[in-house]
């Protein structure tokens, strides 16, 4: 049991990072991770996974995220601009802050299915194989979604600086 807990614990930083990438919101992301961990802890007695823990945890997190999405969709996208600590370095200059905010917004504007896979690969460093296993889609679909996501990001970041609105 301790080994199992250790395995889960080792995945938490990555789960938080991934959740933040999905929602760009600190509290929402940690809520998601907390739900995921609670569910994993409850499941472990009866429904412990047979395979490795990491893809299992990511799958749980994604399922919860999708459930949340259905609720949130109606409320629109919220991108708190700053200062919420999402921009890593206080000394980052204004231009790159704007650039990062633009990317963050473009990421949030992607269809969820593209953001889910892009973040697994570009942020979590997973191979297409691993991503396809977690998302339960063929690798061809993984590739086409990433390709579309990159294209959309390019268009968004090439465009004149977006008009940012601060919500909150």
Residues 6+ apart with CB under 8 A from 87: 97, 100, 101
**82 contacts other proteins (rule: CB under 8 A):** no
Restricting to residues 6-45, which ones interact with other proteins according to CB under 8 A? 8-9, 12-14, 16-17, 20-21, 24, 29-30, 33-34, 37-39, 41-43, 45
Residue 47 touches other proteins, criterion: CB under 8 A: yes
Among 81, 123, 137, 164, binds other proteins (CB under 8 A): 123
Tokens 């080792």, residue located? 10
Check: CB of residue 13 under 8 Å from CB of residue 123.
no
Compute how many residues bind other proteins; rule: CB under 8 A: 53
When asked if residue 73 is in the footprint of other proteins (CB under 8 A), the reply is no
Peptide bond connecting 89 to the previous residue in cis, omega within 30 degrees of 0: no
In angstroms, the CA 83 to CA 89 distance is 11
Q: Which of 28, 81, 122, 137 binds other proteins (CB under 8 A)?
A: 122
Q: Which residues bind other proteins (CB under 8 A)?
A: 1, 5, 8-9, 12-14, 16-17, 20-21, 24, 29-30, 33-34, 37-39, 41-43, 45-47, 60, 63, 67, 86-88, 99-100, 103-104, 107, 118-119, 121-123, 125, 127-129, 139, 143, 146-147, 150, 153-154, 157
């Amino acid at each position: 049991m301790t080994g199992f807990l250790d395995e889960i614990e080792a995945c938490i930083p990555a789960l938080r990072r991934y959740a933040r990438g999905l929602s760009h919101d600190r509290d929402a992301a940690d809520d998601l991770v907390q739900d995921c961990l609670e569910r994993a802890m409850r499941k472990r007695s009866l429904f412990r996974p047979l395979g490795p823990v990491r893809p299992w945890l990511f799958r749980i997190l994604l399922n919860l995220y999708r459930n949340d999405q259905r609720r949130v969709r109606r409320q629109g996208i919220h991108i708190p601009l700053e200062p919420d600590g999402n921009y890593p370095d206080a000394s980052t200059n204004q231009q790159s802050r704007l650039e990062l905010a633009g990317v963050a917004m473009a990421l949030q504007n992607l269809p969820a299915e593209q953001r889910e896979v892009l973040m697994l690969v570009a942020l979590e460093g997973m191979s297409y194989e691993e991503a396809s296993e977690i998302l339960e889609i063929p690798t061809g679909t993984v590739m086409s979604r990433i390709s579309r996501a990159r294209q959309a990001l390019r268009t968004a970041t090439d465009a004149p600086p977006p008009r940012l609105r601060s919500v909150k």
